[in-house]
Structure 1
């Protein structure tokens, strides 16, 4: 049973399995243990705003729990607010030079977050699996150099504690969307969580995965639509833009769209990013690499540096047309430093 409280009810909070959840959008009590009062008995209590039987439907993540929507702060950007989030970075952290150059460039052209993979859940066991904790440290170094918050995937609950001091946002990848132990672990960690939709997950299953994180007392969940598996083979996945307005009605959580994984094609990333913003997404997350042709993973869907700049420029008018804005902070390093830092022969 999930209860929204008007004021504390010590008798209920003392029950076995009771869990108090203090969120910006209200105080809730989850009664997860056996026995206890009935739903009707709880609904009749003076300090209860509402109570719902827990079952197969989202409750804490449902729009009814926070009708005005919620916001998640990630660095200087507040996802779910008026400003549009723009996050970018390589599929895999490969070297200090690569990740620092990328971070500095995207920061100069409007990025609000730095993504990069250190632990890589690849389809093939023979593919590059990432640098592990070394990659996490390089990502942190690049984040500090550029002033961008760091977003990276965690695959194993056992890695959460070691990664915690170095990341600003844990990413749960599409393959692990339904991993209850991992969802609980990042929920307990308390930092923002970027939760990617599984390739075959329904929208309700997607929101229920977010419910696991919320039940641990962590309200800082960002949903990410990154494409689903269909019969179409022209693209790597099918980016489900239907999900944007539907999820905005289903849940109060902020939602970003990943057109890189959603299409698998560099030439489709910018058009689909524009479409996602027009549909109501709170942000865009893309893959960017200084030299996609030499990337150790996902080069075909990674933007060149100048393409990221074009993405930012083209998203601005679309954002304004739907009542949003895209800020363009300049990083402290400045463009001259970026030219020196790139070192890959890429045009700026």
Structure 2
């Protein structure tokens, strides 16, 4: 696998810093929040409680790519304003998905990390455009992408000058249909072997089942992930997007404590 810029042989471990949060080092970073921003109250309540439970970065989708065109598509810029305000109030960097190169200037005003979703992993125009800036980019693995294809997509970003890339394993599509996706946890040590970029895991999309999120999260930390992205909602049963895989506040608080214990044990802290 020939990687001129993303390969480990070309650089020491990349640590992506966003304010006081450092992704890729010894710290376990928890990114938490709702799949979709539904209202100001929903987001602010979630932000306060995930922050209290140990999350360092707030997530929330303002533009939601959905399989059905009739599903909730997000609040757009109004949602981004809520996300920015909630982050400021709780002293948390924020991350949200970008889908269109034309929206970069708008999102740039509100978010600290651009998220490239699995559907856009090989949207090379979008990758090049976010690569022209310096704002961190979290690149999710495509639902049917090989690790080589995933790292090659990251290369597009770095080639434009932006070295602040975070990789996110979120499960791949296989013949198994009990879970939403098949969470490929072996991607974590493979990425750490091949690349210098931080690697985090999304157990919410990786399993699609709330009863499996905690187990997948614990396994991800034990195998060496630098962080996790977890969906949390004040009332998952009422969520407008992906409620079936979202943790409630009590579940996230309990899981956060368990993950820190595992991280400290694995790293001898």
Output the TM-score relative to the length of structure 1. Answer: 0.76
- The reply to whether residue 65 of structure 1 matches residue 21 of structure 2 is no
Q: For each residue in 1:33-75, what CA deviation from the matched residue of structure 2 results, as whole angstroms up to 9, or x when unmatched?
A: xxxxxxxxxxxxxxxxxxxxxxx73220000011x31100123
- The reply to whether residue 89 of structure 1 matches residue 27 of structure 2 is no
Give 1 or 2 for the bigger CA radius of gyration: 1
Decide whether the 8 Å contact of 1:261 with 1:301 is kept in 2. Answer: yes
CA distance in 2, matches of 1:100, 1:240: 32
**Structure 1 unmatched ranges of 5 or more:** 1-55, 326-348
3-state DSSP of counterpart to 1:239:
coil
CA distance in 2, matches of 1:321, 1:165: 39
Decide whether the 8 Å contact of 1:259 with 1:269 is kept in 2. Answer: yes
Aligned equivalent of 2:249:
305
Decide whether the 8 Å contact of 1:238 with 1:263 is kept in 2. Answer: yes
Aligned equivalent of 1:188:
132
- The reply to whether residue 149 of structure 1 matches residue 93 of structure 2 is yes
CA distance in 1, matches of 2:119, 2:27: 29
Aligned equivalent of 1:221:
165
Find the partner of 1:204 among 145, 148, 160: 148
Shift of 1:322: 1.6
- The reply to whether residue 106 of structure 1 matches residue 47 of structure 2 is no
1:1-348 aligned at under 5 Å gives the runs 57-66=2-11, 68-323=12-267
**Structure 2 unmatched ranges of 5 or more:** none
Shift of 1:162: 1.1
Go from structure 1 to structure 2 and tell me whether the alpha carbon gap of 1:98 and 1:297 turns closer, same or farther (over 3 Å shift).
same
CA distance in 2, matches of 1:151, 1:301: 19
4+ residue runs over 2 A deviation: none
Alignment RMSD (CA, Å): 1.0
CA distance in 2, matches of 1:100, 1:185: 31
Shift of 1:189: 2.4
Output the TM-score relative to the length of structure 2. Answer: 0.98
Shift of 1:203: 0.2
Shift of 1:165: 1.5
Decide whether the 8 Å contact of 1:88 with 1:115 is kept in 2. Answer: yes
CA distance in 2, matches of 1:180, 1:142: 31
Decide whether the 8 Å contact of 2:34 with 2:61 is kept in 1. Answer: yes
Decide whether the 8 Å contact of 2:188 with 2:199 is kept in 1. Answer: yes
Decide whether the 8 Å contact of 1:75 with 1:113 is kept in 2. Answer: no
CA distance in 2, matches of 1:305, 1:76: 24
